[in-house]
Amino acid sequence: MADSIHLSGIIDLTPEDKHPRLWLEVMHEWIVTTDHKKIGLMYIAASMMFLVIGGIEVLLMRIQLAVPESTFLAPEQYNQLFTLHGTTMIFFVAMTIEFGFANYMVPLMIGARDMAFPRLNAFSFWIYLFGASLLYYSILGGKGVYGGSGIPDVGWFAYAPLTEKAFSAGNGSDYWALAIFISGIGSIGTALNIIVTTICMRCKGMKLSRMPLFAWLMLVTSVMVVAAIPPLSAAQIMLLIDRYLGGHFFDAQAGGSAVIWAHFFWIFGHPEVYILVMPAFGFMNEIVPVFSRKVIFGYPAMVAASVGIAFISFTVWAHHMFTVGMEPVANTVFVISTMTIAIPTGIKIFNWLATIWGGKIRFTVPMLFCIAFLFQFTLAGLTGIMLGVAPFDWQLHNSAFVVAHFHYVIVGGILFALFGAFYYWFPKMTGRMMSRTLGKWHFWLFVLGFHLTFDFMHIPGLLGMPREVYTYEPGHHWEIWNMIVTIGAFVQAVAIIIFVYNLVRSQFTGKLAGNDPWDAWTLEWATTSPPPNYNFASEPMVRSRRPLWDLKHPEDPDWKYEFDAENEMATK
Amino acid sequence: MKRFALQSLRGSAQSLLGVRSGEFRVHEFYTSLLRALGKFGSNLFNKLFVSPTNIFDPRSAPAHEIFRLSMFTLIVTGAIFITVSGLLLYAIIRYRQRPGEDADQEPPQIYGSNQIELAWTVIPILIVVVLFLSTVRVIFSIQHAAEPRQALDVQVIGHRFWWEFHYPKYGVVTANELHVPVSSDPKSPLPTYLQLATADVDHSFWVPRLTGKTDLMAGQVNNMWIQPEVAGLYLGQCSQFCGAEHARMLLRVYAESPEDFQKWIAQQQRNAVDDPDASAGRAVFEQNVCINCHLVKGTVANGRFGPDLTHLMSRDTIASGTMPNTRDNLEKWIKNPDAYKPGCLMPSMQLSDQDVNRIVSYLVTLR
């Protein structure tokens, strides 16, 4: 056992300088930092801020839709709100909050001292924040000379030719295109950084086949980001050329094509869904085994399924376009690719089930969120299959059912996993535990609110209610369902308030966590909470996927069972 | 004594009968309660799920096909959900950590199993194949349906925020309310084929009980067909976001017997009624810019941007289903369209009340 794991020496015990500092000094430190942990926290904090903004937007929309023929909002205001809500939640909350966790956790998990390119990391964060702020500057900024809307009001997928100068006279579409284009530069920067970090910066002994699954999922996600964002950026530049330089890419009356925009957008847009959900899978892969007290079932299959999903996700985009008048053969191709993606996704669900099977489940708050994820994500996947059945989609497309479906994915799946990640890693990030009581209140209220909102939102869709409508006539029996949905939205808001309160309070008065409060197995738990600058005093060395398990169970280490050439040599 | 006994006997018999009739009443009470509950239930169901735009209540051939496929999909996905969530629920309850257990004792670590993983790869593949084949059949049968000779062709043109319908064979143009013949004889179906185009941005034609939606894409012509089997009014609306008043771009499809449909066509083919009593209003109408956007066949009004008004009063609603077509509403609408459909493209012409009144007096003659 000469080459067993050296973990004892990796904790840096140098006491931190505790003298009181000026507020300005602290600010300066955060602004100029290139530390992956600080940047990660800033990503998370900024995304949380936008989450609250996007949440307030949706509450206003839900008040408007609670009763038919409501005049609470003007039509333009409603259209602006859903555009801001969608754009904010996708580009400035979901994507970036996951980048935040990746920034913080990936180097720790792979035993690195920082990301590969710390300055690029800082640049990516600040350019994202600038882009996101630009979108909201549209509220203060000029309306444009034609009295059109200064705030984007074209929907988050901004179908041309509605965004062309003729139909969108104000500056709204410009803000929309530029804000996302600029923050997209940040996304690509962070993605490149994560790719290089996971490929080049792993500690001794951590082969790709021993990398924690969250790091794997972030690697796959980042490759997808690098491939998916450029088509969107290109389309946005083409749109701006149309709007300002007399181009006709999407101007159908001058020979351009409206369908081309849809293709460009969804070639980005569908991989984007998986860009959002893959990190959530990563959270699940870390949290579920720890609280089931079992190793993840079928690690190689999980990696293969993730890579498979990433590839297939680039072939399914036109299932958002079954109604644009494609030929039956084209529709058929996209039906089969869409259904195929259910297979690797199914493998993941079953592998989590098998991980839980035979375990000893600890119902901690992170685990509660992960269990809810399993049920909700399964259902979201199945409504996805319904939408993949093209003729069924001809009915469901652009209805409230679709809105319910993708919120089931994004809230019921991704956000639940994110909450799990918050409760799981908060002790590592701050050194303090989050309140379990408040966490349970948060969980149960959020579950209640989520199901009130999104279960019942499917029904008006089945009864013919389209999406993106600022009001509706009575008499279609959409009223009762919309009222329930609105009530659910407010229950969720209460749960979020509890969550934010819990975050703030635990930061100051939470129970001290220690290095490893969950009795977990990956490298981030081998260092102090919060980790010191540069994470590890000396480079750790690992022999398996769960280095801390090996340390805690020297009699029965993982590397005995993870067969690869090196371990086989060792056991001989 | 004897008498008393007789009386008591009679009494008990009566009470017995009373009880019996009481029981009878109880029985009756229960049946009526059940009936009331049933009625309440069906009322509730009607109130919650019965809708003029329910996709699960098809009335047209392609909608029926979609409905059958949808039900099959629902059954398959429902079965998968019950199986998976049942297993999950079982695992969560069965494998929870129990209070008395030794917390330090870790459960056996299982790293994976090729056989099991192969099984839950192959079974979903089989399900996908079945679902895929049944989907493809319906895609082709709807999209490749041959157009019968007797089919009606209608051109649909989407505008912000209203619908224009052309019947090229009959030379008829109308707006927002589509009239089509019913196809009651399955042996010789009478479908309506719609050619969809747009004058500005993308829209989508969706009348759930007739068939799924098809988009009106800028720069291309799309096709769809409907074949309503029952006469009646079918509602729908634009389902591709098209701007401020996307929510009030409503659709009304009137399916009529072929005879009624021919009558309607004959009526629509006529020039506008020229009622001398309304000449004052006609003059105001024709001297204002109304005629730049609206067409009244047989007059100088030949605008194309707004709905054709030749037979305005043959329609039930105005402003694309926003309100009923009454004199009162016409007046309010002309005075200030923005108050009823904020963001619509018809401006308020700032006419005096008297002029508005005259115009409306003219419009109501356009039957």
Mean residue pLDDT of chain A comes to 91
Using CA atoms, how far residue A507 sits from A238, A311, A431, B46, B295, in Å, is 46, 40, 8, 52, 69
Q: Which domain holds residue B307?
A: 276-363
Judging contacts by C-beta atoms under 8 Å, the chain A residues touching residue B143 are 327-328, 331
CB-neighbour burial class of residue B23 (10 A; exposed 0-12, middle 13-18, buried 19+)? exposed
Tell me: do B71 and B210 sit in the same domain. yes
Query: Do B285 and B246 fall within a single domain?
Result: no
Chain segment A110-123, per-residue pLDDT in tens: 999 999 999 999 99
In chain A, residues with a C-beta closer than 8 Å to the C-beta of B131 are 339, 385, 389
Q: Does B70 touch chain A (CB under 8 A)?
A: yes
pLDDT value for B275: 87
**Is there a contact between B271 and B298 (Cβ–Cβ < 8 Å)?**
yes
Residues of chain A with pLDDT > 90, as a percent, come to: 80
Query: Does the beta-carbon distance from A477 to B50 stay under 8 Å?
Result: yes
Distance in angstroms (rounded) separating the CA atoms of residues A212 and A229: 26
Which one is predicted more confidently, A284 or A550? Answer: A284
Shared-domain flag, residues B74 and B218: yes
Assigned domain for A309 exists: yes
Provide the shortest C-alpha distance from residue A338 to chain B (in Å): 10
Question: How confident is the model at residue B106, as a pLDDT?
Answer: 87
- State the total domains in chain A: 1
Report yes or no: B69 and A396 within 8 Å, Cβ to Cβ: no
pLDDT value for A3: 40
Nearest to A392 among B69, B215, B220 (CB): B69
Candidates A300, A379, A392; nearest CB to B81 = A379
Judge whether residue A144 has pLDDT over 80: no
Query: Could A394 and B211 be called an inter-chain contact, meaning their C-beta atoms sit closer than 8 Å?
Result: yes
Helices (H) and strands (E) in chain A, counts: 19, 0
Q: For residue B125, what is the nearest residue in chain A, using CA coordinates?
A: A343
Nearest to A300 by CA among B346, B112, B110, B212: B112
Residues of A in contact with B96 (CB under 8 A): 360-361, 363
Judge whether A12 lies within some domain: no
B7 touches chain A (CB under 8 A): no
CB–CB of A394 and B213 under 8 A?
yes
Say yes or no: B85 and B211 in one domain.
Answer: yes
Shortest CA gap A108–chain B (Å)? 24
**Structural domain total, chain B:** 2
Q: Could you tell me if B143 and B191 lie in one domain?
A: yes
Exposed, middle or buried, B336 (CB in 10 Å: 0-12/13-18/19+)?
Answer: middle
**Which residue on chain A is closest to B341 by alpha carbon?**
A75
**CB atoms B96 and A361 under 8 Å:** yes
pLDDT at A505: 95
- Please judge whether A468 and B241 are an interchain contact, meaning their C-beta atoms are less than 8 angstroms apart: yes
From B174's Cα to the closest Cα of chain A, the distance in A is 23
Say yes or no for a CB contact (<8 Å) between A301 and B117: yes
CB-side neighbour CA atoms (13 Å) of A149:
27
Residue B39: inside a domain: no
Q: List the one residue out of B118, B116, B79, B124 whose CA is nearest residue A358.
A: B116
Tell me how far apart the 2 most distant CA atoms of chain B are, in Å: 110
Contact between chains at A295 and B47 (C-beta distance less than 8 A): no
- Surface of B (281-340) touching A: CB under 8 A: none
Q: What's the confidence (pLDDT) of residue A564?
A: 62
Q: What is the pLDDT of residues A415-472, one digit of tens each?
A: 999 999 999 999 999 999 999 999 999 999 999 999 999 999 999 999 999 999 999 9
pLDDT in tens, A83-119: 999 999 999 999 999 999 999 999 999 999 999 999 9
Query: B70 and A328: CB-CB below 8 Å?
Result: no
Distance (Å, rounded) from C-alpha B304 to C-alpha B153?
21
Tokens 């701007």 map to which residue? Answer: B243
Answer yes or no: do A346 and B120 touch at CB < 8 A.
yes
Q: Are the beta carbons of A395 and B208 separated by less than 8 Å?
A: yes
pLDDT given for residue B22 in this prediction: 52
Residue B191 within a domain: yes
pLDDT of residue B24: 60
What is the nearest CA distance from B273 to chain A, expressed in angstroms? 33
The pLDDT tens digits for A187-209 are: 999 999 999 999 999 999 899 99
Contacts of A473 in chain B (CB under 8 A): 250
Do A346 and B124 count as a contact with CB atoms less than 8 A apart?
A: yes
DSSP B60: B
Alpha carbon of residue A45 to chain centroid: 14
Length of chain B in residues, anyone? 367
Is the Cβ pair B139, A335 closer than 8 Å?
yes
Strand partners, B203: B216
A vs B, Cβ pairs < 8 A, gives 281
B326: Cα separation from own chain's centroid: 24
Report the 3 state secondary structure along A374-393. HHHHHHHHHHHHHHHCHHHH
> Chain B contacts of A382, Cβ < 8 Å?
77, 80-81
Q: Which pLDDT score, from 0 to 100, does residue B186 have?
A: 83
Residue A141 is predicted with a pLDDT of 77
Give dist(CA B26, CA B70) in Å, integer. Answer: 45
Say yes or no to pLDDT of A380 above 90.
yes
The secondary structure element, H or E, covering residue B235 is: strand B232-238
Beta-carbon separation of B53 and A160 below 8 A: no
Q: Give per-residue pLDDT as tens, A317-372.
A: 999 999 999 999 999 999 999 999 999 999 999 999 999 999 999 999 999 999 99
Which pLDDT value is given to residue A1? 36
Residues 107-146 of B with CB under 8 A from A: 107-113, 116-117, 120-121, 124-125, 128, 131-132, 135-136, 138-140, 142-144
Residues in chain A with CB shorter than 8 Å from the CB of B142 are: 391
- Test mutation, A465, A469, A546, chain B, max B CBs within 10 A: A469
First to last CA, chain A: 12
B20 found inside a domain = no
Question: What is the rounded distance in angstroms from the CA atom of residue B68 to the CA atom of residue A371?
Answer: 34
Same domain, B60 and B131: yes
pLDDT of residue A4: 41
Given this model, what pLDDT does residue A334 score? 96
Q: Do B235 and A336 touch (CB under 8 A)?
A: no
In a domain, A186, yes or no: yes
Predicted pLDDT at B282: 93
pLDDT band at residue A262 using 50, 70 and 90 as cut-offs? very high
Same domain for B294 and B359, yes or no, is: yes
User: Does one domain contain both B84 and B217?
Assistant: yes
CATH number reported for the structural domain that contains residue A464 in this entry: 1.20.210.10
pTM summary value: 0.91
Arithmetic mean of pLDDT, A224-247: 95
B59 part of contact set with chain A, CB < 8 Å? no
Q: A356 to chain B nearest CA, in Å?
A: 7
Query: pLDDT tens digits for A383-426?
Result: 999 999 999 999 999 999 999 999 999 999 999 999 999 999 99
- pLDDT reading at A135 higher than 50: yes
Q: What is the pLDDT of residue B44?
A: 79
- Is residue B101 one of the residues assigned to a domain? no
Domain of A446? 33-571
**Residue A78: closest CA among chain B residues belongs to which residue?**
B244
Listed as ranges, residues in chain B with pLDDT below 50 are: 1, 16-19
- What does the pLDDT read at residue B196? 96
pLDDT of res. A418 = 96
Instruction: Give A187: exposed, middle or buried? Use CB within 10 Å, 0-12, 13-18, 19+.
Output: buried
Using CA coordinates, name the residue in chain B closest to A350: B120
* pLDDT attached to residue A529: 86
**CATH no. for residue B339?**
2.60.40.420
Q: Which residues of chain A make contact with B106, given a CB cutoff of 8 A?
A: 293, 360, 553
Interface test with chain A among B89, B92, B160, by most A beta carbons within 10 Å: B92
Tens digits of residue pLDDT in A38-80: 999 999 999 999 999 999 999 999 999 999 999 999 999 999 9
3-state secondary structure of A474: coil
Residue in chain B closest to A252 (alpha carbons) equals: B219
Residue A2 confidence (pLDDT): 35
